[in-house]
Structure 1
Amino acid sequence: MKLRFFGSSLVSSYWNGAATYYRGLLKALAAHGVDVVFYEPDAYQRQQFRDIADPDWARVVVYPASAAGWQRALDEAARDADLLVKASGVGVFDRELEIAVPEAVRPGAISAWWDVDAPATLDAVAANPEDHLRAAVPRYDIVFTYGGGDPVVDAYMALGARACVPIYNAVDPETHHPVPARDEWRCDLGFLGNRLPDREARVEDFFLAAAAHLPERSFLLGGAGWEDKPMPANVRRLGHVGSVDHNAFFCSSVATLNVNRASMARYGFSPPTRIFEAAGAGACLITDRWDGIDQFLEPDREILVAESGAEVASLLAALDETRARAIGAAGRARVLAAHTYAHRARQVLDRLGVRSVGREAAE
């Protein structure tokens, strides 16, 4: 199968939280014999902040961030695609691509809308009767999302989707695994996430308020956009942390915090990539509460769950390194057993009725 995929970036995680999702899933699909070409625009300085070189399991096409650029790229991609994908949040000419992709597929090929932020997308569509996706979604052969469970599936079916299948985030064990801690990053609680409008207030509550509750403890904040944000004195800022350093970030703290964006928490069943990446590294996870957590990790044994920043502080105050290591080990065992990108790739191929022909089929 020839997969041609339009996304934000495969080679850079700079202002691009979906990068590791793309990498893990497409790498796993390639192991099943899928021929992957990833199309990304030259935008937002992502090419200047690459985390990885072009991988050997995919061809990366960087096209100019212009009207002519995306049109030429789509013409090339559609020429031989068996599966032509437009992901949400490419960043430039999204509307134009989302309208054009279903019309561009050759006869017998499949078009897919792949929503990597379904809760936010669906909220935006619900608020705008003129949103172009109302007309575009029914023209795609299938909608994939990276989370959302039944609430997202029901909402997409109500928009006229022919089919909607959540393909959740997962872990690539070759990429996310335990590594030695970095002394300069040692802390009691780390949080890694860019500053985004529908996340900021929740970070204030679950991370910054927790730091204020525990002035004697150390907190480490990684991610872009936080430079001018007022912080308690016990919070250190790292700025952008490239994906090559994520394992060290997760392994240098007693615990790692996950904070879902507001829309993701409201819909539930939307574990972000950081959940599986941190668990794969063996980190002790503390997360804000959202519906569906226990579908992925068992509360109190594989992950700790908090209702507020005060509860984060309480959990952290009671957490010693022995228990933190035990929770991290249990979480890692769970994701390796049930939540790898190999599992997710098989789900995609089964849904499309595609037989494996690559390395995974032979094992």
Structure 2
Amino acid sequence: MKVVVVGLSITSSWGNGHATTYRALLRELARRGHDIVFLERDVPWYAANRDLPEPPYCRTILYQNLDELFLRHAPRIREADCVIVGSYVPEGIAVGEWVTANAGGVTAFYDIDTPVTLSRLRRGKCAYLSRELIPRYHLYLSFTGGPTLGALERDYGAPRARALYCSVDPELHYPIPRPHRWDLGYLGTYSDDRQPTLERLLVRPALLWGEGRFVVAGSQYPEQIPWPANTGRIEHLAPESHREFYTAQRFTLNVTRRDMIAAGYSPSVRLFEAAACGVPLVSDRWPGLEEFFTPGVEILVAENEKDVLCYLRELPESERLGVARRARERALAFHSAARRAQELEEYLNEC
């Protein structure tokens, strides 16, 4: 197929999780024989932080504004077998209206932020998708599964809503035998709604266990946050550095955003990445978690700092390694980028 993707970014992973998702998925689609063009709005904050300016598996074209997009790329849209528009695309409503009016093949909206999108739609404050636009896409690809898929079809008029969860790239994420620098680490961009959970499940354990070693990696954290003395900070990690970061931890922490908890069935890509690296996961609790990893067997669930400290200080080493091994097996079997590419093909064939 000829596939055109209009997405937030594939060239820069700075401050977003979209780039790594697109990179792994499109690489696997290309391996399956598809011809792919990625159209990305050229914005200053990504221009200053391009860690993959020219992906080798697709043609990436930067555009400056809507006029340029509409005038230069209309033929591509008409001739493509499939056009996918991603969430958070600048002026995404106008982009979506143009795509659905002019595309000659299947049109799909790829929502990498489904719970956030639906929350904004309910408040009438979504800049990249409207209620009126949803029925015009042939396919709604959602990072969130479970009951949300039925709601998208029933309440929003999506002709087909299908889960296309985040995934892991096994070529980038795999175990590395090495000494551990940290007992517990966390990787994620700052958000107001995640911070209280991060305080509860990492900062408080660090304060209570002075001998422990902790680390938080991610951009946009306010400078005034008082991190404990035994908690390191890394401002930004490029995707190719994630493996080294995870494998330097005895355990890694997953924290879920409020909207994702409310919707359920919204796994973070960090879950699959860390699992593929063979690092045991400690996570907050959210509906649908057991669909991806079995609590107590493949993942450790923590409600408070006492749970976290119990895992860090009391879990036998054999069980720590067992949790990590079982999670890795599950992630590679069901949540690889190759699996997602196959699922996407199946959805497009439905259309």
TM-score band w.r.t. shorter chain? over 0.9
2:123 is aligned with 1:124: no
Q: Equivalent of 2:193, from 176, 194, 198?
A: 198
- 2:217 alignment counterpart: 222
Are the counterparts in 2 of residues 4 and 77 from structure 1 also a CA contact under 8 Å? yes
C-alpha distance in 2, partners of 1:23/1:252? 24
C-alpha distance in 2, partners of 1:100/1:330? 46
Aligned-partner SS, 2:162: strand
One-letter amino acid of the structure 2 residue matched with residue 99 of structure 1: E
- 1:357 alignment counterpart: none
C-alpha distance in 1, partners of 2:322/2:333? 17
Are the counterparts in 2 of residues 227 and 239 from structure 1 also a CA contact under 8 Å? no
RMSD of aligned alpha carbons: 2.1
More deviation, 239-248/336-345: 336-345
More deviation, 114-123/297-306: 297-306
Instruction: Using the TM superposition, give the Cα deviation of residue 285 of structure 1 relative to its aligned residue in structure 2, in angstroms.
Output: 0.7
Aligned-partner SS, 2:232: strand
Instruction: Using the TM superposition, give the Cα deviation of residue 123 of structure 1 relative to its aligned residue in structure 2, in angstroms.
Output: 0.9
C-alpha distance in 2, partners of 1:216/1:320? 18
Instruction: Using the TM superposition, give the Cα deviation of residue 37 of structure 1 relative to its aligned residue in structure 2, in angstroms.
Output: 0.9
TM-score (norm 2): 0.92
- 1:160 alignment counterpart: 157
Q: Equivalent of 2:228, from 232, 251, 270?
A: 232
One-letter amino acid of the structure 1 residue matched with residue 45 of structure 2: Q
Unpaired segments ≥5 residues, structure 2: none
C-alpha distance in 1, partners of 2:305/2:153? 33
C-alpha distance in 2, partners of 1:139/1:55? 30
How many corresponding residue pairs? 348
C-alpha distance in 2, partners of 1:249/1:111? 37
Aligned-partner SS, 1:96: helix
2:22 is aligned with 1:22: yes
- 1:344 alignment counterpart: 340
Aligned-partner SS, 1:133: coil
2:251 is aligned with 1:255: yes
Instruction: Using the TM superposition, give the Cα deviation of residue 196 of structure 1 relative to its aligned residue in structure 2, in angstroms.
Output: 1.9
C-alpha distance in 2, partners of 1:73/1:212? 56
- 1:115 alignment counterpart: 111
Are the counterparts in 2 of residues 51 and 244 from structure 1 also a CA contact under 8 Å? no
Instruction: Using the TM superposition, give the Cα deviation of residue 74 of structure 1 relative to its aligned residue in structure 2, in angstroms.
Output: 4.5
Instruction: Using the TM superposition, give the Cα deviation of residue 243 of structure 1 relative to its aligned residue in structure 2, in angstroms.
Output: 0.5
Instruction: Using the TM superposition, give the Cα deviation of residue 340 of structure 1 relative to its aligned residue in structure 2, in angstroms.
Output: 1.3
C-alpha distance in 2, partners of 1:331/1:264? 21
Aligned-partner SS, 1:135: coil
Are the counterparts in 2 of residues 152 and 267 from structure 1 also a CA contact under 8 Å? no
Q: Classify 1:21/1:180 alpha carbon distance in 2 versus 1 (closer, same or farther; 3 Å).
A: same
One-letter amino acid of the structure 1 residue matched with residue 99 of structure 2: V
2:331 is aligned with 1:335: yes
Unpaired segments ≥5 residues, structure 1: 355-363
- 2:80 alignment counterpart: 81
One-letter amino acid of the structure 1 residue matched with residue 61 of structure 2: V
C-alpha distance in 2, partners of 1:277/1:153? 28
One-letter amino acid of the structure 1 residue matched with residue 144 of structure 2: G
2:55 is aligned with 1:58: no
TM-score (norm 1): 0.89
Instruction: Using the TM superposition, give the Cα deviation of residue 210 of structure 1 relative to its aligned residue in structure 2, in angstroms.
Output: 2.8
Are the counterparts in 2 of residues 153 and 166 from structure 1 also a CA contact under 8 Å? no
Instruction: Using the TM superposition, give the Cα deviation of residue 315 of structure 1 relative to its aligned residue in structure 2, in angstroms.
Output: 2.3
Are the counterparts in 2 of residues 13 and 243 from structure 1 also a CA contact under 8 Å? yes
Give CA deviations for 1:218-256 in whole Å, capped at 9, x if unaligned: 111100012512212221101111111000010001001
Aligned-partner SS, 1:353: helix
More deviation, 243-252/195-204: 195-204
More deviation, 213-222/252-261: 213-222
Q: Equivalent of 1:297, from 293, 300, 305?
A: 293
Q: Percent identity?
A: 34
